[in-house]
A = this chain, B = another copy of it.
Amino acid sequence: MKFSWPIRVYYEDTDSGGVVYYANYLKFFERARSEFLRRFNIEQDILITEHDVIFAVRQVSVDYHKPAVFNDELSVTSEVIELNKASLVFRQVIHREKDETLLCHAVCKVACLSASKMKPRPIPDEIVQHLAGK
């Protein structure tokens, strides 16, 4: 399943080069992953407090093709391309809405941790089932 989330570019996201600052795309990617989970009614604050589960990024790789600029409306897609026992891999792509230009894409490996011990733990079954599209 590919999930798309709209994001507006505000001044806070840009830099004096006139484009979105390169680190800020990682914020956009995370917002989109959070909304991807929310779509399955997975609320990350409840994951922590009730299920002792927190997700942590282990690896991220970003290709910057074209820059986003102030006031752009973007769409960020999220897709699980690998689902392991205690980790998963997202592919995420950002397009500019108005002309569908590809701006950047990322591959992001996320580990499932015990929130109390900060050690790897299996992804809860319910989440696995959602992510596997079952």
Which A residues are within 8 Å of any B CB, using their own CB? 8, 10-12, 14-19, 21-24, 26-27, 30-31, 34, 43-45, 54, 56-64, 67, 69-71
Cβ of B60 and Cβ of A61 under 8 Å apart?
Answer: yes
Nearest B-chain residue to A29, judged by Cβ: B23
Copies of this chain: 4
Cβ of A15 and Cβ of B16 under 8 Å apart?
Answer: yes
A57–B104 CA distance with the chains assembled, in angstroms? 12
Closest 4 CB pairs of A and B: A23-B26, A14-B16, A45-B71, A61-B61
Nearest B-chain residue to A70, judged by Cβ: B16
Q: How far is the CB of A3 from chain B (nearest CB, A)?
A: 15
